[in-house]
Structure 1
Amino acid sequence: MSVYSKDRFDSIRRAITSITTDQICKPAEVIIIEDGPVAEEVEAYLSSLESSSAPITIIRLPHNRGLAHALNVGVRNTSTDWIARMDADDYSLPYRFERQVTYLESHLEVDVLGSALQEFTEPQYDHIIWGEKRLLPRSSSEISAYARFQSPVHHPTVMIRKSALLSVDGYPEDSGHFEDYQLWERMLLNGAQFANISEVLLGYRVDSGAYNRRGGWHMMRDEIALQKQFYKDGFTSRSQFIRNVIIRGLYRLVPTSIKKPLYRLRTAVKNHNTV
C-alpha cells in the first residue's frame, strides 16, 4: 500500500485496519510506502504502527515519485509468494483474504486474482453510502479478450504471484496514469493466468472528483500513448487500436455531466454481461 500527501488520515486508518485487525485471514506482513512526506497526523499514526507488535513495515521515500515507483519499492521488500494490493482510501471486507486464499489454493494455475468491488461515498465519517457494484469477467479466456478494450481486473482488489510480477520487471514507471493496465498487458503477453471472483471483496471510495480525474487532455495523452504501446507490442490489432483510440480517447474529453451517466450505463451493461 502506498500513501502520499493528499491521502486523508481517516481513510488511511480505515484502510489499514481493514487489512489487519478486521481480516479473518491475517496477512503475514504489511508493507506501507510513504511516497514522499505525508501530513504530521498520518506520520504519527504510521510511526505508532511501526513501533507496535504488528508485522507492519513503513518505507519512507524522500520525494514523491508516483504510484508505480512506490509499488515497485514495496514489491522488492516483500518476503511472501503472494502480494495483495490495497489503496489508502478504500477498505477490504473482513473475508477478502480468506476468500482469495481459498480460491488460489484450488486454482494453482492463477497468477493474478481480482474480485468485484462496490463503490461507496462517505459524506461524514462513519456514514457510508453504498453505490454500484462493478463486476468483471471471471475466466482466463474471457479476461484475455476483455483486456483488449478494458482493464481486466480491479487493481485495488488483486492478489498477484510475486514471481509472475517480477518476470515482467514489475510495474511500468513510464505509463502515466495506466501503470496497472500496462502491467496486466505485459503479464498476459508473458503467459500469466488471470481470474476474478464475482463476489464483492472491497469497498471502492468514489469522491466528488472521481469523474473529473478520468478526463482531460492529460488523460487523453496518456490514453493514446497506452494504445500505441499496446499496438506496438502486438497486444491489440489495428482495428482494435483504432476503436480504442476513438472510444476510450474521446471519452476522456467528454464533459463530466455527460461522462457520469455514460460511465453508469457502461457499468450496468458490463455487470449484466458478466452475470
Structure 2
Amino acid sequence: MNTTTTNTARLLITCEDKAGIVQAVSSFLYHQGANITALDQYATEAQGGRYFMRVEFEIEHLQTKKDGLVETFQANVAGRYDMQWRLACVSDLKKVGILVSRVDHALLELLWRHARGLLPCEITHVVSNHDTLKVAVEQFGIPFTVVAVNKDNKVEAEAEIHKIMQGNDLLVLARYMQILSADFVEKWPMQVINIHHSFLPAFVGANPYKQAYEKGVKLIGATAHYVTADLDQGPIIEQDVERVSHEYSVEQLRELGQDVERNVLARAVRSHLEDRIIVDGHKTVVF
C-alpha cells in the first residue's frame, strides 16, 4: 500500500449485520469510480450480530470529491443500514502529541519510527512533568515543554496540557506517570492511547514487575489501550507477552518488559493512524 498517495481513502463502518451490506458498499464505490484495494470485515454472530467493515480504496481527485462522497454515501447506503461510519483520507496526516515522564524507552521508539517514516503522522509536541528527556526529544526536532504536576496544581496543569495539545488528533501516554482526570479524558474521547506495563487485567496499578516477580509468573506482557475515566479499563488495542522463568530478577523482568512495551505501543499507535480500529463498547475490533 502506498500511504503517501493523495487518492487513497479508508471507510470504517459499524452496523447491525444484514444481508446486502458488502454489495451495497462495493456497488457504491464502483459507481463512484473507485477501486477497492483492501476490504476487511467481521460479524459477531452468524446471523443478527454486529457488523464491522474497513475498506481502503483509491479514487481520482479524492480531495475534490470527498464532500460529495460523504453526502452521497450517507443518503444512499449508510442511512439505509443505520451505519455508524467515517471516511478518512490517507493524505490527511493525523497530528499526534506525546506525554511522558522520565522513562524514555516507549517515547524514543515512537520518535525513532516516526523519523524513519514508519509512523504516518505529524508529531507536534512532547509534554513532560520533568525535564529529563528534553535534550533527547529536541534532537528529533520536536518541541518539548515541561508542565510540572503536583497534588495542588493538577487542574491548572491539565488545562495547560490541553491548551498545548489542542489541534491534535491523538495523544499518546508513553509512560506518563500521572493519572489523567475524568474531565481531561472526556475532552479526548478515544483519542488517548496508554501503554500499561502488564498484561491487563493482571497486575493493575503500581510496580507490576515486582507484583509479577512475587507471583512467580511465567509470562510477562504489556497492554496498549484507549484511556477512559476508569483507570486501566479502557478498550484494549494491542497486547503481547514474553515467556520467563523463576530465574528472572525484577530488573530482568523490567528490561524484557520494556522491550514488549515499546513494540506494543508502537503497533497500537500505528493501527490508530492507519484507521484500523473500531471501538465497540468496552472492546475494539482491530483490522
TM-score over 0.5 for the pair: no
Q: Which has the higher helix share?
A: 1
The structure with more radius of gyration: 2
TM-score, with length taken from structure 2? 0.28
> Whose strand fraction is larger, Structure 1's or Structure 2's?
2
TM-score relative to the length of structure 1: 0.29
